[in-house]
Amino acid sequence: MSSQDDDAAREAGENEVALAVGDVQDAGRFRLDLTTGRWWWSDEIYAMHGFERGEVVPSTEVLIAHKHPDDRTQVDHVLRGAQQSGEPFSAVHRIIDADDRTRTIAIVGQGLRDESGEVTRITGYFIDLTGAQSRSTQEQATAAIEAAAASRGSIEQAKGIVMAVLGGDADAAFEVLREASNARNQRLRAVAAELVSDVAQRAPDAGALTVEELVQVLGSAADRPGPADRS
């Protein structure tokens, strides 16, 4: 690959990320230890529920109490299913925060197994869709996250993660994944699966995935050699 090609690839990658970033959505990380029943929330999840850290102890009871009455059964079913299967899951639902405001929230996560194969932890993200730039953006984000639950597809789940971090729509998220796939000369599904796995394995105190960390996980055209550069 020539230096001109390198420059063109770098510029294209930077322009694509810039177009996709938009306004970053609020996203927070959670962890549930199934052996103790204890939850850990990042500061963003406290804020989504109208609290500051230390004002409330996160628990399943607190979580369910703040769900919209019409959505509590759905969320309880999703969480129970995740505890039993450990499979990736997602759900879009409403919560009522401490100030009596209704928010639209997506939860995306999966179970983690110990050496014996038992599901011992659930980890993932809460994504606040309330402040989406437009109704179409919110609807596309919702559709992508719900598709992950229906298909268990790594690509759909990865799109949800990219949309949460960058704040773009489903098409922009797919283009970010496609660019990473082309730059790394890997199948898009493999790139998506790597992103989902990386998010699931993050330390609970690492906080929400940042734009810089997302780019690092996915790689960029400037950082990865093209097929002609490989020996």
Quote the percentage of the chain above a pLDDT of 90. Answer: 17
Burial category of 78 from C-beta neighbours within 10 Å (exposed 0-12, middle 13-18, buried 19 and up)? middle
More confident residue, 73 or 138: 73
What is the per-residue DSSP string for 140-191?
Answer: HHHHHHHHHHHH--HHHHHHHHHHHHH---HHHHHHHHHHHHHHHTS-HHHH
Average pLDDT in the 150-166 region? 74
Domain with 196, as residue range(s), is: 3-229
pLDDT at 48: 92
Q: What rounded mean pLDDT belongs to the chain? A: 74
Per-residue model confidence as pLDDT tens digits over 198-230 = 877 776 666 667 777 787 788 743 344 333 333
Average pLDDT in the 120-129 region? 85
pLDDT at 29: 83
pLDDT at 63 over 60: yes
**Residue 201 in contact with residue 213, Cβ under 8 Å?**
no
State the pLDDT confidence band at 132, using cuts at 50, 70 and 90: low
pLDDT at 192: 87
**Residue 67 in contact with residue 154, Cβ under 8 Å?**
no
Per-residue model confidence as pLDDT tens digits over 145-155 = 555 554 446 78
Average pLDDT in the 56-83 region? 89
pLDDT at 51: 94
Poorest-confidence range of 56-70, 113-127, 130-144, 209-223?
A: 130-144
Pull the structure tokens for residue 227.
């097929």
Contacts of 40 (CB under 8 A, 6+ apart): 30, 31, 32, 33, 58, 204, 205
Q: Shortest CA distance to 153 belongs to which of 190, 121, 182? A: 190
Average pLDDT in the 125-151 region? 62
pLDDT at 153: 66
The number of distinct structural domains making up the chain is 1
Q: Shortest CA distance to 127 belongs to which of 111, 112, 151, 148? A: 148
Q: SS3 of 62, please? A: helix
* CATH number for the domain harbouring residue 192: 3.30.450.20
The dihedral built from the CA positions of residue 222, 194, 179 and 2, taken in this order, carries a sign that is: positive
State the pLDDT confidence band at 89, using cuts at 50, 70 and 90: confident
pLDDT at 139: 63
pLDDT at 191 over 80: yes
Quote the percentage of the chain above a pLDDT of 70. Answer: 70
Pull the structure tokens for residue 87.
């499979």
Helical ranges in 22-153 per DSSP H: 43-48, 60-65, 72-85, 135-151
Q: Shortest CA distance to 59 belongs to which of 73, 77, 45, 44? A: 45
Model pTM?
0.54
More confident residue, 219 or 133: 219
State the pLDDT confidence band at 9, using cuts at 50, 70 and 90: very low
One-letter amino acid of 200: A
State the pLDDT confidence band at 93, using cuts at 50, 70 and 90: confident
